[in-house]
Chains A and B, each alone.
Chain A
């Protein structure tokens, strides 16, 4: 693990944000506030990057600066991001951050209740700069290496494995895809590079946990996963524990490439504190007979904008997005899916469930594109919203563009509320209001939760219990 590239995020405290806390920071490398060409050169220099990467960053900066905010369709809250008050690169090799005595008791309590493993607690609370995962991971790492699997940081990937990395890097999500993919391309640090050789089926899910360090939790992660012909891999990122030290802007880019007959599942569970803008671009490219599934759970944040997509480039390719979003007071979950059919007999499936609690707001945006010249394409889209309180809000913006008449598409949307009648019934059986709400919410997402790996689904349930406890008065 190269410690000099470890990113330590600055902390933004908001008065209502009980979960957050800060500690004094000292950084070995600090690009300072604001974003200029110098910032980029500084990052490239610190990371000792090849010239092509530096050029890539500079071009991206130009694109970022030339693109307007997408407030013509997205929320105007984006205009509140103060780009010149953000530090785009911080890194620090120093280890100890603070002692357990400095960690607020309510944070410890939350860890307890979520059942966060000891080692992760130390990292999440900032007591340790690195997650000591070598012991747990070394066996897995050896087994993977034997099969030729590459699982490294993105920085290592672009330097050590340029011949595999470069042909696909920035190809699924071009720099100019949107303003935030351009921003990420300019200042990216952290994230993973994974390559699965032909025919290799990785048995255990690859977890960001395995090589967790502060770089993983960077603001501008960049991940590229390439599954070669006939290979299979599941990748899991995030955890349900809230991250108590985090920058106000998080803008990641994740690109997946599934070659002929390959399968990639990408599982995300994230729980952001409510001062964070989480603006993420995720897209996969599925070749002939390949399959890409995004399984995504977003909880918290001030604003999350995330629409995982799959471009089905080869015949019979399949794309799927399964997502759960929970928006509590002061939070806006603007999520959805993008399905681009670009070959015959391609199939896509979108199942999205959102929960709005208190004054929380959730928005679904879906795009399904099937051009006229294709035949035999199928799409199924289901989006269901659950409103917990009368002040909760949900909006749905499906855009389904299907041309030609040789396709099958299906779209279903529903909005429901936890009814007084249902609550009374559950309370009459002895559950208090929060327990009843939790049960109703867990019931609502039950069929999707089973898509998540076991340990995540258990954590998810606990997390929903916690969110509901605070939501009823």
Chain B
């Protein structure tokens, strides 16, 4: 079981962004993608999620062996792909609890309703884990949230929706060290042999708390280097300059 990306090529407004990218994330592993700004890291996560700003011009994305090219954004989500956004959108007037309920309800078979009591029990347990105030359930999704609150909220949603593959896009940006630890704790609690992670980050810092199994370096729409956790440390000290000479 894996999330597999084969020779993926994609462009936006006819400008190529991904130029034949290959990546395999087996269930049970945490992969990190690092790379300089503009290398296409964030774009990759949006393309996997099915954002229609990007046109896939070649290659494919396989979810446990099944090509998801024809699936809509919501179908991909329900199939098990979760994207923790770098900049989560606000949904004014819709409470976090209602939003999560709607998202969980969308996963229920026709005619079945989620049980409100067990929903709240589950929600509160996970909020406690992320050190979130109970009042949070009635606040509108991301509206007026601080950067740290937004990121915690992404992780809460991820925990509630129980996805197969989690894509974390620059989850560390805008977080102070305490918030970073809480977020990492949430992610680590979800690590399981049945779940794969793709952690996109510009900095090594996050990887001190979420230990990757594999680290990839992305540049100009391709994976240019792959290694173990120590590759991230190496990048931290020597930077991406090697890309220029490569």
Contacts and interface: CB of A to CB of B under 8 A. Distances in A.
A46 interface: no
Interface size class of B (residues with CB under 8 A): 20 to 34
Contacts of A444: 92-93
9 contacts: A424-B51, A424-B89, A428-B49, A429-B77, A436-B74, A439-B94, A443-B140, A444-B92, A447-B93
Given A422-B89, A439-B99, A439-B102, A428 B94 contact: no
A311 interface: no
B89 A432 contact: no
Given A431-B74, A432-B106, A439-B99, A426 B91 contact: yes
Nearest to A438: B102
A141 to B, nearest CB: 37
B74 A432 contact: yes
A425 B157 CA distance: 12
A259 interface: no
B90 to A, nearest CB: 7
B3 to A, nearest CB: 15
A436 B77 CA distance: 13
Interface in A425-452: 425-433, 435-436, 439-440, 442-447
B181 interface: no
Q: From DSSP, what is the main secondary structure of chain A's interface residues?
A: helix
Interface string A63-78: 0000000000000000
A419 interface: yes
A16 interface: no
- Nearest 9 A/B pairs, CB to CB: A443-B93, A443-B94, A425-B89, A446-B93, A427-B73, A430-B77, A429-B103, A430-B106, A427-B74
A445 B93 contact: yes
B123 interface: no
A425 B169 CA distance: 13
B71 to A, nearest CB: 11
B86 to A, nearest CB: 12
Nearest to B76: A428
Nearest to B157: A429
Contacts of B73: 424, 427-428
> Among the interface residues B49, B92, B98, which one has the most CB atoms of the partner chain A within 10 A?
B92
B161 interface: yes
B40 interface: no
B131 to A, nearest CB: 22
Contacts of B106: 429-432, 435
Nearest to A420: B53
A442 B94 contact: yes
Contacts of A436: 74
> Among the interface residues A425, A429, A431, A447, which one has the most CB atoms of the partner chain B within 10 A?
A429
A455 interface: no
A389 B9 CA distance: 31
Contacts of A427: 72-74, 77
A82 interface: no
Given A427-B72, A428-B49, A446 B94 contact: yes
Contacts of A440: 91, 94
Contacts of A422: 89-91
> Among the interface residues B77, B157, B161, which one has the most CB atoms of the partner chain A within 10 A?
B77
A7 B74 CA distance: 48
Contacts of B140: 443
A439 B92 CA distance: 10
A432 B161 CA distance: 15
Contacts of B89: 419, 421-422, 424-426
B83 interface: yes
Interface in B66-92: 72-74, 77-78, 82-83, 85, 88-92
B191 interface: no
Interface in A401-432: 419, 421-422, 424-432
B185 interface: no
Interface in A233-264: none
A431 B85 contact: no
B93 A442 contact: yes
Contacts of B85: 425, 428
A342 to B, nearest CB: 35
